[in-house]
Chains A and B, each alone.
Chain A
Amino acid sequence: MISINNVTKTYGSGIKAVDSLSLEVRKGEIFGFLGPNGAGKTTTIKMVTGILPPDEGTVLINGYDIAKDPINAKMEIGFVSDDPNVFERLKGLEYLNFMADIYKVPAEGRRERILELADEFEMTNALDDKIQSYSHGMKQKIVVMGVLIHDPDVWILDEPLSGLDPKSSFTLKKIMRDHADKGNTVMFSTHVLEVAEKVCDRIAVINKGRILFVGTLAEMKATLKTDTSLEKMFLEMTDDE
């Protein structure tokens, strides 16, 4: 579970990138984080993952405070950044083992897990090549595999589907669903409203650092008293601001 309580972040220029944001992402759900460019999605994700310290407020990951108990909180998280250019001179296999060591994945079962994931994402033949030689989509896949290898309770993904081929995209969505169904938490940001519409149990719309809406799609339709697509509702909401 992720609880974000009254979190604020102001950048040097005095602009509040995130303004008293509170949010709860529950166990067993896929939570979509939507918003136009520069809305504060990535800043929020950075604060949740411990990359940025918030100026005010707290973030709890399964009860661990990311500021006060960072290591335990981070152990609960699997994070996929929007920039997959990680340690390019490591081989895919070395990267997976690095992540497994850092997240203290026991040696037994690791081999099977790697082969299973590689098979699922069709990466087996690329495992012994350097990440540098991968295509954008393959890099994305190896990062996702690096998260899945330690099987964290809480998944946080920043634009995870961009650059993935249809099959990997399908696989990832399926894995996200399975993970949530097992009682875990999945939170991801996206621009692609269709994905949010199909995959998410609940969504939040954020603009200019503030939450405009949190709830299910049905609740959103009820609030706005329309029966149009998410796209239209999203545009209506963010335009009003």
Chain B
Amino acid sequence: MNNVIKLIKIGLLTTFRGQVGKKRKIQKPLFALLLLVAFSPMVFSLIEIIRVMYESLDMFGQGDSIIALGLLVASMVVFLFGIFYTIGSYYMAKDIPTYLQLPLKPWEISISRFVMVLLYEYLTMLIFFLPVVIGFGISAGKGVLYYLMAVPVFLAVPILPLSLASVLVIAIMSFSKRAINKDRFTMIASLLGLAIGIGFNFGFQSLIGRIDSQTGFQEMILSGRISMAENIARFFPGLPNATRALVDNNLLHLIIFLLVAAAAILVFLLVSKALYFKGVLGINQQVSRRKFDVKRIDGFDSRNPVVTYLYKELKLIFRTPIYFMNLVMIDILLPLFMIVPMFISIGADEVAVIKEQLLASAPPGIFIAGSFVVFMFISAMNGITATSVSREGSQLYMMKYLPIGYADQLNAKLLSGMVVSTAGMILLMIVMTIFLEISIPIALLMLLSGLNAVILTRLTGMFIDAANPKLKWDNEQKAVKQNMNLVFNMLIGMGAAGLAVIFIIFAGKSMFLNVMVFIIGMAVVNYVVYRLLARSFPRMIERIE
């Protein structure tokens, strides 16, 4: 156990040291304040949304289901992030090989990593679960006991989904020894983990759906004979108990829930004891050299320098597992993974209802401006340009000595970000267009509007990163995940999305023309930002020593 604590300590030190504010002490509290100010409106508005939802559900006597829903969403998010976090932390982190030569047991390393990922997941929980706890507590008029019960529940909720993600990842990665291309194997493993997890969940959902339709479940819920809360919560073991613990302040259910979490850790320990080292050793094994086939050379044509630079950028992003997961998957796959199962599982009837409601209440203008907001949100989450200079790391000097102008390098870097994000956007638009039967002209206008959002975040991200890149890192994770430029760009993106929302509200019902003006206006803004960036980029890069 002593070793575990030491490992966690070292892990935390190497993760958080050298972050923002190392130079000036004042930066740290200021920065924390800035984050708090930036995120608190979001948390407050979430609490408000929870309260409104509670009131409308409470009319059917189903207000408790808010808690169940919150628990389910939090568990799902923890699971999804957990797949990426665990691969990064258990296998890809550069310090892992160092631990392998030390006299440590496999489970000691894996549990220390588990705890570190868990700490990250608690941050996620602050956004996804805390507003639910508070919103429900206020609406249902809960007392002190409720909040006391909420603390252990909060701490225990991520344990099961994270154990599930870890066990899946460790099981899949144990086959890494046979893989020739370790990077590709790792990326496929993360996809497989996601697919298995979501497939399992989806299968479970449809099973329950079938039972429900046979027993007239919906009627029973509407008549209040069966709790909708329990129905929602049973997707993850233990969640019904967590729901009861919070709703009824039931201590027995709390204990059962904690026992389930403990059992999850136990399973994780057993699996990691058996399989963790197998995967780690496999992934760190040198690849055997193949014989070179001279014909391979003929596959290369000479290319324009900007094009070859763009290819280089894309190759590095797609081949580095950490970059691929953080910069590509988040744009292309995550929205699909979340939205497609949702559309399928809620069934054709519900989709039809949603569609009708949307079309009745919202003129097409809202779709177009709304797509700006949605794609702003998705692309702001992606740091592909907000980490573009940072990712050069100690190799930044190459940008300076290669005989290719800074303007060309800027364009290639921006293009690499645009290619990935636009691909993700088009994919998502196709899915939405099919499911919601959006007309083609509207869909195209939505794309145009979304494209403006993507361009803007790509430009601002590049601006921020070129101004103050994080070049001192020893593992890729630090360049893309623990990089504050990403967070700053996210804040700008959210601000722009907020402005767009205000615009929608003020534009009123006859907004089609206004939306056109909005799209053109955004294009002008983008052009101006691009000109500014193109002008200052060379100076910013030259200044870096």
Measured CB to CB, the residues of A under 8 A from B are 11, 46, 49-53, 70-72, 74-75, 77, 79, 81, 83, 85-87, 89-90, 93-94, 97-98, 100-107, 110-111, 114-115, 118, 124-130, 133
Contacts and interface: CB of A to CB of B under 8 A. Distances in A.
Given A85-B394, A128-B290, A50 B400 contact: yes
Given A46-B397, A101-B302, A93 B296 contact: yes
Interface stretch (B86-94, B259-267, B313-321): B313-321
B316 A107 contact: no
Nearest to A52: B545
Contact of B401 (A11, A77, A111, A118): A77
Nearest to B297: A111
Contact of A74 (B294, B395, B403): B403
Contact of B289 (A11, A102, A129): A129
Contacts of A125: 289-292
30 contacts: A11-B545, A46-B397, A50-B401, A70-B403, A71-B404, A74-B402, A74-B403, A75-B403, A81-B397, A83-B394, A83-B395, A87-B316, A89-B319, A90-B312, A94-B315, A97-B302, A100-B302, A101-B305, A101-B307, A102-B308, A105-B302, A107-B301, A110-B300, A114-B297, A118-B292, A125-B290, A127-B297, A128-B290, A128-B296, A133-B287
A93 B300 contact: yes
Nearest to B181: A130
Given A71-B404, A86-B395, A105-B302, A133 B286 contact: yes
B316 A89 contact: yes
A74 B183 CA distance: 34
B225 interface: no
Contacts of B290: 125, 128-129
A89 B401 CA distance: 20
A85 B315 contact: no
Contact of B405 (A71, A81, A107, A118): A71
B349 interface: no
A79 B293 CA distance: 29
A103 B403 CA distance: 7
A115 B307 CA distance: 24
B518 to A, nearest CB: 40
Given A51-B400, A70-B403, 12 more contacts: A97-B300, A101-B302, A101-B303, A101-B308, A103-B403, A104-B305, A110-B302, A111-B298, A115-B294, A128-B293, A129-B287, A130-B287
Nearest to A100: B302
Contacts of B298: 111
Find the residue from B286, B293, B294 having the highest chain A CB count within 10 A. Answer: B294
B294 to A, nearest CB: 7
Nearest to B293: A128
Nearest to A135: B286
Contacts of B304: 101
Interface string B389-416: 0000011011011111100000000000
Given A51-B397, A85-B395, A128-B293, A71 B403 contact: yes
Nearest to A106: B302
A86 B398 contact: yes
A97 B315 CA distance: 14
A126 B297 contact: no
Given A94-B315, A101-B303, A102-B309, A126 B289 contact: yes
Contacts of B308: 97-98, 101-102
B437 interface: no
B401 A102 contact: no
Contacts of B305: 101-102, 104
Nearest to A152: B403
A126 B298 CA distance: 16
A46 B401 CA distance: 9
Find the residue from B291, B300, B301, B319 having the highest chain A CB count within 10 A. Answer: B300
Contacts of B350: none
Contact of A127 (B183, B292, B311, B315): B292
A58 B303 CA distance: 33
Nearest to A129: B289
B542 interface: yes
A47 to B, nearest CB: 11
Contacts of A130: 287, 319
Nearest to B401: A49
Contacts of A70: 403
A133 B181 CA distance: 11
A173 B406 CA distance: 34
Find the residue from B286, B300, B312, B401 having the highest chain A CB count within 10 A. Answer: B401
Contacts of A103: 403
A86 B397 CA distance: 10
Contacts of B312: 87, 90, 98
A143 to B, nearest CB: 10
Nearest to B398: A86
Contacts of B398: 86
A71 B298 CA distance: 29
A118 B292 CA distance: 11
